């Protein structure tokens, strides 16, 4: 037997229906926010990812040398390919650019629940604007992407790396030493953070105040901690404007200011946000994003950029954990030839319905009527068409509603119009 590679999955038709449902809903939400879909290759030059993340990423990705000696890699994420695409082809496009995408990514991770070596991402990039309303709309888009697929309980956390950096400078920690602290802040390891700040010579009172501020949602307390520093005040006012737009324009009130959000990547600058599904426990993060700076690294002219990515697999796990009822896959029509002589006319009827865009299946196993109707129930067929010799002599068939059991004899030529009414008359 051949076995599936570790960290990958097969999906049944029922599972694919769930995945396609989520993708359809997300695609619609992207589009109503004015975003347009793009697609990039599944593999890129290895240098693209090492330039963005450094050589340490080599341990985490699938890389290879092709037959011409080129060093390539399966994409571990989608932001770098999109920015490479922008620099190569779209720099002269009208701004702002609103781009969204779906795609498979690959990482050599240790497989666990909600984390696989091949996984699917949804995401977007907003290129060419950094106004408060642009950032508020980006956050709202991420929020409604998850709400519109049916998730009930999500937590939106919003932070700002520039404000966090100012807070650390207020403690007397220069920028070159801040990187030692940000991983602890990002993981909310406040006990270890306290110990490290103590070894850096920070007084206990200041440490306690700082750790408390990291966990507050009150922007005024943050500003007081910063001693009303002028440049920091401007950043906090910008953040408050974004929050005001979320509350009053986008009607999103259940957000949380959280200055411990770091995102863990050097290219993020300023606004950052994450969305969690508490129902998933420790592995609860569904979405992460914010403002970032990558275009100059890839040879393009610097311009404001922001975006986010949503973990497709965890999102479906969250829906399942919330007991969301996914729409059932269904076939509109199932055609049952009463005997083998009725097969040709049954196929013609099926093809005429398919030409009308009506999902139609037909019994291909030459079963008796009872077994065919049982199968029609199993595939959630809405209606069946029984094609029998006596009816066909009169250019008719029997149309049966599988939910009610109601039947009527109709003309073959009238089948499409009867089906489209969705109700037997």
pLDDT in tens, 205-232: 888 888 888 887 777 888 777 765 556 7
Q: For residue 75, give the DSSP letter.
A: -
DSSP string, 209-240: HHHHHHT---HHHHHHHTTT-HHHHHHHHHHH
User: 3-state secondary structure string, 85-98?
Assistant: HHHHHHCCCCCCEE
pLDDT in tens, 245-283: 999 999 999 999 988 888 766 778 889 999 999 999 888
CATH superfamily of 333-420: Anticodon-binding domain (3.40.50.800)
Give CA 70 to chain center in angstroms. Answer: 32
What span, in angstroms and rounded, lies between the C-alpha atoms of 267 and 392?
70
Residue 401 half-sphere exposure, CB side, CA atoms within 13 Å?
13
CATH 3.40.50.800 occupies which residues in the chain? 333-420
Q: What pLDDT score does 424 carry?
A: 36
Has residue 422 got a pLDDT over 70?
no
Measured in degrees and rounded to the nearest 5, phi and psi for residue 419 equal -65, -40
Reply yes or no: is the peptide bond before residue 396 cis, omega within 30 of 0: no
Has residue 324 got a pLDDT over 90?
yes
> What integer is the mean pLDDT of 307-330?
92
What is residue 273's three-state secondary structure? strand
> What integer is the mean pLDDT of 138-154?
97
Percent of the chain with pLDDT over 90: 66
CATH 3.30.930.10 occupies which residues in the chain? 13-321
Has residue 41 got a pLDDT over 90?
yes
Was domain 13-321 assigned CATH 3.40.50.300? no
Chain mean pLDDT for the chain: 90
What span, in angstroms and rounded, lies between the C-alpha atoms of 381 and 387?
16
368: its two tokens: 């008796």
List the beta bridge partners of residue 65.
71
Percent of the chain with pLDDT over 70: 96
Q: What pLDDT score does 423 carry?
A: 41
């Amino acid at each position: 037997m051949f076995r599936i590679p570790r960290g990958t999955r097969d999906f049944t038709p029922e599972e694919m229906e769930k995945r396609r449902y989520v993708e359809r809903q997300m695609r619609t939400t992207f589009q109503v926010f004015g975003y347009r879909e793009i697609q990039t290759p599944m593999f890129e030059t290895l240098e693209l990812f090492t330039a963005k993340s450094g050589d340490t990423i080599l341990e985490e990705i699938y890389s290879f040398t092709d037959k011409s000696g080129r060093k390539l890699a399966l994409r571990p994420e989608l932001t770098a390919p999109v920015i490479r695409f922008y620099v190569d082809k779209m720099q002269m496009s009208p701004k702002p650019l609103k781009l969204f995408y779906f795609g498979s990514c690959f990482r050599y991770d240790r497989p666990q629940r909600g984390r696989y070596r091949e996984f699917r991402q949804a995401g977007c990039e907003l290129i060419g604007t950094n106004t408060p309303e642009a950032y508020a709309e980006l956050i709202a888009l991420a929020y409604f992407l998850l709400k519109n697929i049916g998730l009930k309980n999500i937590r939106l956390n919003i932070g700002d790396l520039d404000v966090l950096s100012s807070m650390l400078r207020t403690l007397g920690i220069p920028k070159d030493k801040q990187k030692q602290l940000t991983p602890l802040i990002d993981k909310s390891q406040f006990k270890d953070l306290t110990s490290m700040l103590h070894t850096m010579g920070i007084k206990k009172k200041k440490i306690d105040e700082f750790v408390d501020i990291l966990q507050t949602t009150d922007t005024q307390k943050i500003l007081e901690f910063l001693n009303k520093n002028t440049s920091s005040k401007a950043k906090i006012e910008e953040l408050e404007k974004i929050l005001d737009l979320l509350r009053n324009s986008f009607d999103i009130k259940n957000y949380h200011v959280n200055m411990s959000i770091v995102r863990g990547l050097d290219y993020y600058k300023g606004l950052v946000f994450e969305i969690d599904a508490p129902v998933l426990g420790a592995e609860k993060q569904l979405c992460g994003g914010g403002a970032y700076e990558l275009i100059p690294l890839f040879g393009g002219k610097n311009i404001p950029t922001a975006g986010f990515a949503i973990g497709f697999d965890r999102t479906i796990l969250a829906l399942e954990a919330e007991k969301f009822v996914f729409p059932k896959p269904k076939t509109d029509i199932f055609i049952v030839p009463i005997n083998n002589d009725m097969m040709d006319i049954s196929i013609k009827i099926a093809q005429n319905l398919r030409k009308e865009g009506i999902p139609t299946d037909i019994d291909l196993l030459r079963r008796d009527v009872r077994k065919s109707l049982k199968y029609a129930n199993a595939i959630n067929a809405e209606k069946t068409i029984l094609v029998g010799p006596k009816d066909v002599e009169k250019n008719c068939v029997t149309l049966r509603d599988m939910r009610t059991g109601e039947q009527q004899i109709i003309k073959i030529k009238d089948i499409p119009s009867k089906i489209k009414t969705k109700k037997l008359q």
